[in-house]
Structure 1
Amino acid sequence: MNSWITAKEAVVTETVWRIRCGIRDAAEAGYRWLCGIRRRYPWLGTLYAIWCWISLLTWIVGLFLYRDSRTMLVQYLWSFYVMLQFWLLCRSKTLAWKQTALFMLLGVFLVIPLTALTLLAAHGIFGGSTRDTWSQAVLTPIAEEIWKLAPLGLFLLFSRRATSMSLADYALAGAGAGAGFQLMEELARRWLNSGIIGRTYGYSTTLLGGETIHWDVWTLFPGRFEESIFPTIMSVSHPVHTGMITLGIGLAVRCRKRLGGAIFALPALLLAWSILEHAAYNGQNSLPAWLMKLSDWTGSGYRTKGVFLTLLALALILDYVALNRVKSRLPRMERERMITPVSELWYMLEALLTRRERFASVMSWTRERREMGFSLLYGNDEARSIRGRLQDDMLKHFRAAAGVAVMLFLLAGLAGFAAYGQAHVQPADSACFSCMFDSLQNWWDRLGFWEKGAIVLGAFALSLLFVGFWPALGIALTAASLPAGGHEIAKNIRDPKRLLTPEHAISALLALALSRVPFGRLAESFGKRGGRKLKEWLEKLLKKRKKPGRKPEGKERPSGQEPEENPPRGDADDYVHWSKAKYRGVELYDSRNSPLGEIDGIDLDKGVFYEAKSAEGLDRIHPKTGKPQQTPQQFTDKQLYQKTKVRIHNLQKAAGTRATPDGTAEIPTLEQIRGIRRFEFQLDGDSPALREAAENSLNRLRQEFPDYTFSIRFGVK
């Protein structure tokens, strides 16, 4: 008898296996055929991209024209927010975002039609309406909670990597299907509830019961259902119910060899509990008292979230304990002794804050490492068949995650060496490489907030055509951070040695981090003045103390030159008189060889233009009027504001540089000085009125040229 049962089970298993493989092979053949068509006709890809852009533009226009479009967007954002919470909590997941989104789509396009057909069929056979108690409080909860498990069932039946899923994958798959189902359910409620109360106070507000559906940003898994102003019963959102049931299925599958088939009572009990809560909420005023009493014993819906979080915490512990059993066969980062969610989050956070372009690689590598670990632990023959591809992908992302920093430092060194060679070996024919980054940030800074936002959103939308959500977000943010940090990149290329000293290295890293962290540029714009003071304080703090009896490097004074008794305002170590600059008397000329103005002094190493201004005769009285010939404000507006404004514009349209009769024999080229963004004025006069007028003129320059730095020293003879 037992042998007959065993043979019958083997026949059934073989039949199911053949049906499963036949359906999957046919689907894969169809997919390969479609891919072949795409390769034979590349213009289809272009047509698809055009269609995507037209769809995006149509959707944007619809947001302005149709209230229902805005309603749909609001509900989609709420559902996405719930799904994002599950995505962040399920730390041991191996499902990619695209696969998770597929479960959400199946909840929309598979679960809802199956549920609707089930209800229609039941009413077609037994009669009645959907408002009847047996339909609303019995049939509907059973049909919805069971059919929401269909996406996971299809994945387990047809996926080759079904046996290598983590426990968090089970929860994520169920939550995705539940989120898709809830998206359409709540969207239908929003569209149908167009009364005065719904439009005024919200679509889920009732006249006597208050708000029944709660969407709250600060709530974990928002969307709970409560009835009346003082609720005594509630129902958690569909993602929590379905995620809890599928997590129970995962625990049963993982522990069936140790605990036997009885462990499958766990998901059955969780399913029954979810149906009970759903039924009690839908029929709280019409169901028998004993059923409502049973609902009270199980917590009336208020204990479900806690039970799910407890099961999820247990699942994460079991997943990472299992991964560490095979950690010797998995790649690890340097100094990573154990595989933990904390270490993985640390590597991803480090990549996000330092080099966002490798954030996607780090995230993909950690996920693929977990998938490889579970494949080694639990994978069957089908899971092993894709292990080679998984290992290649994991190695590719590991190299990108671990080696991109070294490559970037090498590229920065090569770029600095090339810039040094251009500046010192071939000054006449150099094409200023660093100036390209300066020009890029100048263009970016001139854009308005909405223009920048449109560029970032366009890069994000375009990237979504080729990659997933998170890589597309990283590409869009990196595309914005490159022009936003152009000046800092140009400074490092122009003077690579600035990264060798601790104070410059730290300040450069801080500036680069601000430009690359999301909204860092906004913080930088508000704290620009405070940032400069912080940088000066940091440089003073980290500056090496001079050893006694030893002259500081680069500060030898020419013979016969005495130190100034009263140096101008500022640090004496940083002060350079314009007449002691390396390049002096540099004249700009245009394409017709006509002069465009003279620059008194230039320091290429520090990136400074020195301009000497004389205030002699400022207080001279005009014989006819009896008043000074010009006020301090008139003087500074002309000498500082107007002439500097013309000088900056002439730098862009000039054709070259040449030495004046009193200038130095060697002068820099036009391309070398176009990237300088700092002006230092040295004025021989000094008075409170002159200082106030000069500050007013410099503030006008700072407003018109925000990417330039302007400073002034008074009393320079």
Structure 2
Amino acid sequence: MNTLWAIRCGIRDWIEAVCRTIRALIAKYPFLRTVYTLCSWFSLAAFVVSLIFFRDSRTMLVQYAWSFYVLLQFWFLCRSKTLPWKTAVLFVLSGVFLVVPFTALTIQAMHVVFGGRTSDTWSMSVFTPIFEELWKLLPLGVFLLFSRRASALSLSDYTLIGAATGVGFQLMEELSRRWLNSGLIGRTFGYSTTLLGGETIHWDLFSLFPGRFEESIFPTLMTVSHPVHTAMIALGCGIAYRLRAKWTRWTFLFPALLLAWAILDHAAYNGQYKLPDWIYTIHGWTGDGYKTRPAFLLMLAVSLYADYRLLGKVRDRLPVLPNEPFFNPFSELWNMSFALFRERRKFGYWLSFYRERRELGMNLLYGNEEAAGRRGPVRERVQTVYRALAGVAVILLLAGFTAGWNAYDAGGAGPACFACMFDSLQNWWDRLPWYEQGAILLGALALSLLFVEFWPAVGIAMTAGSIAGSGHTIADYIRDPRKMLTPENALAVAAGIVLSRIPFGRAFQWMGRKGRGYVRKLLDKLGRRKPDIGAPGKPPHHDGPGRGGHSERPDEPRKSDEESPKRDHTDDNRNDDTAPTAGKSYNEVEIVDHRGNPLGEFDEIDLDKGIFYEDKTAKGLDRINPRTGKPSQTPQQFADKQILAKTRVRIQNMLEKAVSTRATAHGSADVPDLQDIKSIRSFVFRLDGDTPELRGAVENSLNQLRQEFPDYTFNVLFGGKP
């Protein structure tokens, strides 16, 4: 035992040293990462091209999709797993690159020693089933031998390791069949169709564990797919290891019997009408292959119950949510499903919390000295996620007791949070440079091509880009779905969806936004509408004086969108050089909610021209703060705060929360109706500063507003004195 332990530690230490050397090499020469990235993108591009020109590539994609679907089914059913998805994928790759070549070499070696061909009955129905079922357990054995966390696996982990290895093995086996079956029947009816047996390999979308082997014409026996066999044997190994202390080593007869059962199913199907009758008699006792899957599902259900029951024994040493009376898979599924459909930003937190809590629990229950070294990092990660989720759970629990769920739903907290997700999505998207956005769209196109043809894939990629670039608009409709009821908005949304679905539709939308100003000018010349003197199609550069009325520090907000603003001036100290001379205008119009609370104020509204005028003090941005030695505010910070943020809030408040308007102490005596100002779609900002840095910063903020509110126009006048 000491010799085995020394060999094990020596091999593992050597592998870890190689990994550390590779990481250090990559850190020392960063271009290696760049080369790897370029090769990955080139390989992806080559694969996408091959999907168009090569039938075998599309065949491979079909089989990959089926295998991926089977793995997802096991991932969903193994509720007490502690392994992350990345580790499960590594076991799939081990089935592809380790088990398949090793099995092929073993069978070929047997023929070199004993002669014969692979189509012989003794090879196909005896040796092949034995070695296939044995060697599919190799990745599990290697993991148990070398992994530091092998002693702290849950029973679902054993199941998932076996299933993932079987998925990789079956992927290569079925792919070879699809590629090599080029006969007349295969080309006409499908690669899995035979003359006497009909369809023999079944891949059904609504079946549990598709890929079973069964003749469709007079079926008398069947064999489940490779993932089910290997998962069942691996689960048996986990059960035996878990019970070894209580029932001695005789428990390992249980996985041995399961292995013999899988070999029998496999051999009976491969050797139909060629093996001795006593083999089929024994096979009949086990259900002719039809009892294998129910037996495995029963074992899996019992193992899930055992795992969660054992986790309950260390409940006092694990983080527990406020509304969680006992550990169970049903509440976990409910919370994750609710987060997936209502609060997707928290979905990853739920996944991580539950998995890592199970990992910590299994470590406390069964972890040896090696596994105990992982408890600290795992506990820290669990506590980090737990603090966030516990706070959310407490808030929801208190909301349910104090206000009731009906009141909670009526408040719109769920849709509001869901809408915030789209706001955050567009904010992230807009911060990306154009080449990163293009790379993301190309990635979406490449991923879509795995499932659909070229033009539908283009539509999916463009739709993904349009959703990311229209997050604020989508959030607006989520917060107030009634806006969809108006014919013009419904038609606009429908047109936007159509344009985002067709190729180059986003280009048409961009051309429409860019050409809107020119069309307006053309209509003005033709006399179809009044000229908009104060709001030209593109931001003008005005060097004359602007409208005034406010004096404020640049590093402090001039007025609050949540509180009633206080004025220290009158209309007499305004400079009217740039004020409109015609039309009905109103000064300092305040919007309020249903309780009369102020939601913001517009400095000036011109109803005839349809313009909101906003005055901003931009002087003193270069003033140095003596404590920091830096300006109190950069031009971009000023523009983001005073123009971007405040205008965004003001538009949203006007469209969603405001119920009426009212006059202020120093404003116009009469004010326009809320419905009248809601129809205005033009903003003109009047700034008393004028520097190249300020112009660039303001233009950045205006471009952001134009993307968030495409129905509005935003322009600026520089050089005035508010």
- Relative to the length of structure 2, the TM-score reads 0.62
Distance 1:71 1:596 in 2: 72
Of residues 468, 473, 476, the one that matches 1:487 is 473
User: Structure 1 residue 588 and structure 2 residue 534: aligned?
Assistant: yes
Q: Tell me the residue number matched to 1:85.
A: 73
Q: Is contact 2:185–2:195 with CA below 8 Å preserved after alignment?
A: yes
User: Structure 1 residue 455 and structure 2 residue 441: aligned?
Assistant: yes
The alpha-carbon deviation at position 40 of structure 1 amounts to: 1.2
SS class of match (2:289): coil
Taking a change above 3 Å as real, the CA distance of residues 146 and 406 of structure 1, as seen in their structure-2 partners, is same
* Correspondence list, 1:291-302, <5 A: 291-302=279-290
SS class of match (2:186): helix
Q: Is contact 1:79–1:179 with CA below 8 Å preserved after alignment?
A: yes
Deviations 1:484-541 (A, max 9, x none): 44136569xxxxxxxxxxxxxxx739899xxxxxxxx9xx96999xxxxxxxxxxxxx
Of residues 232, 238, 242, the one that matches 1:244 is 232
Distance 1:478 1:303 in 2: 45
- Relative to the length of structure 1, the TM-score reads 0.62
Q: Is contact 2:583–2:607 with CA below 8 Å preserved after alignment?
A: no
Q: Tell me the residue number matched to 2:313.
A: 325
Distance 2:607 2:323 in 1: 63
Q: Tell me the residue number matched to 2:14.
A: 26
* Correspondence list, 1:364-513, <5 A: 364-402=352-390, 455=441, 457-458=443-444, 483-487=469-473, 489=475, 508=479
* Correspondence list, 1:354-365, <5 A: 354-365=342-353
Of residues 25, 48, 59, the one that matches 1:60 is 48
Taking a change above 3 Å as real, the CA distance of residues 193 and 348 of structure 1, as seen in their structure-2 partners, is same
Q: Tell me the residue number matched to 2:302.
A: 314
Distance 1:477 1:346 in 2: 30
SS class of match (2:213): strand
Gapped regions of structure 1 (runs ≥ 5): 1-12, 408-433, 445-450, 463-475, 492-506, 513-520, 529-585, 607-655, 679-697, 699-704, 710-717
Distance 1:163 1:599 in 2: 80
Equivalent pairs, count: 496
Q: Alpha carbon RMSD of aligned pairs, Å?
A: 4.3
User: Structure 1 residue 212 and structure 2 residue 200: aligned?
Assistant: yes
Q: Is contact 1:438–1:490 with CA below 8 Å preserved after alignment?
A: no
The alpha-carbon deviation at position 663 of structure 1 amounts to: 9.8
Taking a change above 3 Å as real, the CA distance of residues 196 and 478 of structure 1, as seen in their structure-2 partners, is closer
Q: Is contact 2:162–2:234 with CA below 8 Å preserved after alignment?
A: yes
Letter matched to residue 150 of structure 1: L
Q: Is contact 2:201–2:212 with CA below 8 Å preserved after alignment?
A: yes
Letter matched to residue 290 of structure 1: W
Q: Tell me the residue number matched to 2:695.
A: none
Letter matched to residue 321 of structure 2: M
Q: Is contact 2:148–2:371 with CA below 8 Å preserved after alignment?
A: yes
The alpha-carbon deviation at position 111 of structure 1 amounts to: 0.6
Between 265-274 and 34-43, the greater mean CA deviation after superposition: 34-43
Letter matched to residue 473 of structure 2: H
Q: Tell me the residue number matched to 1:17.
A: 5
Q: Is contact 2:95–2:136 with CA below 8 Å preserved after alignment?
A: yes
The alpha-carbon deviation at position 172 of structure 1 amounts to: 0.5
SS class of match (1:225): strand
Distance 1:597 1:199 in 2: 79
User: Structure 1 residue 35 and structure 2 residue 30: aligned?
Assistant: no
Distance 1:324 1:459 in 2: 46
* Correspondence list, 1:481-630, <5 A: 483-487=469-473, 489=475, 508=479, 588-590=534-536, 591=540
Distance 2:582 2:423 in 1: 26
Deviations 1:310-332 (A, max 9, x none): 00000000000000000110011
Of residues 82, 100, 117, the one that matches 1:129 is 117
SS class of match (1:100): helix
Q: Is contact 1:227–1:234 with CA below 8 Å preserved after alignment?
A: yes
User: Structure 1 residue 222 and structure 2 residue 168: aligned?
Assistant: no
Of residues 288, 305, 314, the one that matches 2:293 is 305
Letter matched to residue 101 of structure 2: P
Deviations 1:263-293 (A, max 9, x none): 1111010000100110000001210011111
The alpha-carbon deviation at position 304 of structure 1 amounts to: 0.4
Deviations 1:613-654 (A, max 9, x none): xxxxxxxxxxxxxxxxxxxxxxxxxxxxxxxxxxxxxxxxxx
User: Structure 1 residue 154 and structure 2 residue 130: aligned?
Assistant: no
Taking a change above 3 Å as real, the CA distance of residues 310 and 406 of structure 1, as seen in their structure-2 partners, is closer
Q: Is contact 1:223–1:236 with CA below 8 Å preserved after alignment?
A: yes
Deviations 1:285-304 (A, max 9, x none): 21001111111111111110
Letter matched to residue 441 of structure 2: I
The alpha-carbon deviation at position 599 of structure 1 amounts to: 8.9
Deviations 1:348-389 (A, max 9, x none): 123222332331222011101001001100111011011111
SS class of match (1:588): coil
SS class of match (2:219): coil
User: Structure 1 residue 45 and structure 2 residue 16: aligned?
Assistant: no
Taking a change above 3 Å as real, the CA distance of residues 400 and 478 of structure 1, as seen in their structure-2 partners, is farther
Q: Is contact 1:587–1:599 with CA below 8 Å preserved after alignment?
A: no
Q: Is contact 2:213–2:222 with CA below 8 Å preserved after alignment?
A: yes
User: Structure 1 residue 262 and structure 2 residue 262: aligned?
Assistant: no
Letter matched to residue 61 of structure 1: V
Q: Is contact 2:91–2:161 with CA below 8 Å preserved after alignment?
A: yes
Q: Tell me the residue number matched to 1:701.
A: none
The alpha-carbon deviation at position 208 of structure 1 amounts to: 2.4
Q: Is contact 1:459–1:479 with CA below 8 Å preserved after alignment?
A: no
Distance 1:664 1:282 in 2: 80
The alpha-carbon deviation at position 194 of structure 1 amounts to: 1.9
Taking a change above 3 Å as real, the CA distance of residues 438 and 327 of structure 1, as seen in their structure-2 partners, is closer
Taking a change above 3 Å as real, the CA distance of residues 335 and 121 of structure 1, as seen in their structure-2 partners, is same
SS class of match (2:251): helix
Taking a change above 3 Å as real, the CA distance of residues 460 and 60 of structure 1, as seen in their structure-2 partners, is closer
Letter matched to residue 269 of structure 2: Y
Percent identity over the alignment?
A: 49
Q: Tell me the residue number matched to 2:325.
A: 337
Q: Tell me the residue number matched to 2:570.
A: none
